[in-house]
Structure 1
Amino acid sequence: METKISRDMVEKWLKAWSLSRKLPMPVRYKSGFKIEVGEEKQKIRYVFSELNDDFVELSEQINDPWIYLKVCSSPDEVKGKVSEKWIVQPQGYMMYCFRPMKSSGTSLCEDYRIEHEEYNSTTVVKIIAESGEQASIGRIVLLDDLAVYDRIVTEEAYRRKGLAGFLIRELEKIALSKGISNNFLVATEQGKAVYEKMGWKLYSLYTSIVITEND
């Protein structure tokens, strides 16, 4: 069952997201938030905790490409409120686990090693294969009483080996070492199944729309 969406929770997650990606902090924009991302194919992102008039009005005002509007709502609900100039992106899932995760008891094969890096309030954990290739990587940001997980990726050649689950638990150890067991992230369709096995639950559907370059 979905939980009532907290604007404060969305703001805290966005702050952690910005720290992880070394971007400016989010600023308030009406009932939502704005982040200057500055990338070629993501100039700005606006994030709203609910599908409301502020979101719809902004969608009508924007005509420039690569400005993302994101909202805690389903794709069908969003499609019904915005014009056809907007392209709906693959479904995202805000998820939470406000307790220690379920453990599978798996360990890392001796063919791999772990590396750590720290910046801002972020710790990066990498799993490196015997060949020296990066097999998996993820980040955790500790902000107040919340641990936010970000950009967790396992390379195609190393998938289905249990690396993602092991990596997430390594990130969790960092949070638990600071007494934090409130965990939060946005997952893809593929990642959602992995997190559910570890006890994560759906917080909200998360839909993104963007205008792309004209052909």
Structure 2
Amino acid sequence: MRHVLHSAGEVTVRKITEHATTPGVWLKAFVSPETLEPWLAPGWHLAGGPGYLMSASLRVAPTRAPGPIPDGYQLHTWTRAGVTRALVRTADGAFAARGQIAVTGPTAVVDQVETDPVHQRRGLGRLVMHRLAEAAAEQGATAGVLGATPEGRSLYEMTGWRALAPLTGALRGPDPN
């Protein structure tokens, strides 16, 4: 189970974390780790590192289009059950980068964007983000949202996204320390 709190306060967080006792339950809130941690009930710990809620306007013809697919890579996109996936592979079929986006009315949610460290700094993340935004706009989405890590934030900002709020996760389960 996962709880995502759009307006987290101490009372709400305490209520959820005191009543959710099953290991593996997640809570995500738009507050800093320093704010969230003291609100957690025993048995909960911060998880996933600090992050950011980010958004962007989606257009059918984005203004920050990437260049051509770099030599030695192939981009594959497909849509199934409302989720568009983009996958970049090397010429020999090895994984290089990926991401996915789901359209829910006028909003699209980006998830699981990743570039293999061996293939970073070659424009593959920008290529994936552009194709996902293009696909969502073609399906009628006008705005996109995503949760970003500190490492991913610079890629997203370079492609026109902006940070709206901190995003912090907590997990019910054994303390990792």
Shorter-chain TM-score range: 0.7 to 0.9
- Change in Cα spacing, 1:69 to 1:176, as seen in structure 2 (3 Å) is closer
CA positional deviation for 1:94: 0.9
1:51 corresponds to which letter in structure 2?
A: A
For the residues of structure 2 that align with 1:171 and 1:204, how far apart are their CA atoms?
Answer: 22
**Higher strand proportion:** 2
Q: Secondary structure at the match of 1:174?
A: helix
Q: Is residue 46 from structure 1 mapped to residue 7 from structure 2 by the alignment?
A: no
Superposed CA offset, 1:90-133 (max 9, x none): 01211001254551642212311121232111111111111111
Q: C-alpha separation between the residues in 1 aligned to 2:77 and 2:36?
A: 39
| Contact 1:112 1:129 survives alignment (8 Å) | yes
Structural RMSD (CA): 2.0
Of residues 124, 127, 145, the one that matches 2:85 is: 124
2:32 to 59, 67, 74: 74
Are the equivalent residues in 2 in contact too, given 1:140–1:147 (CA < 8 A)?
A: yes
Q: Decide whether aligned partners of structure 1 residues 64 and 178 sit closer, same or farther in structure 2, where only a CA change above 3 A counts.
A: closer
**Secondary structure of 1:73's aligned partner:** coil
1:133 paired residue number: 94
Q: Among 106, 120, 128, which residue is 1:159 paired with?
A: 120
Structure-1 residue corresponding to 2:51: 92
List runs of 5+ in structure 1 lacking aligned partners.
1-43
> 1:84 deviation in Å?
5.2
TM-score by length of 2: 0.86
Q: Choose between structure 1 and 2 for higher RCO, CA contacts under 8 A separated by at least 6 residues.
A: 2
Whole-angstrom CA distance in 2 between matches of 1:48 and 1:126: 31
Q: 1:76 and 1:69 mapped to 2: Cα distance?
A: 15
**Number of corresponding residues:** 172
Q: Which runs of 5+ in 2 are unaligned?
A: none
One-letter amino acid matched to 2:88: I
SS of 1:80 mapped into structure 2: helix
Aligned sequence identity (%): 22
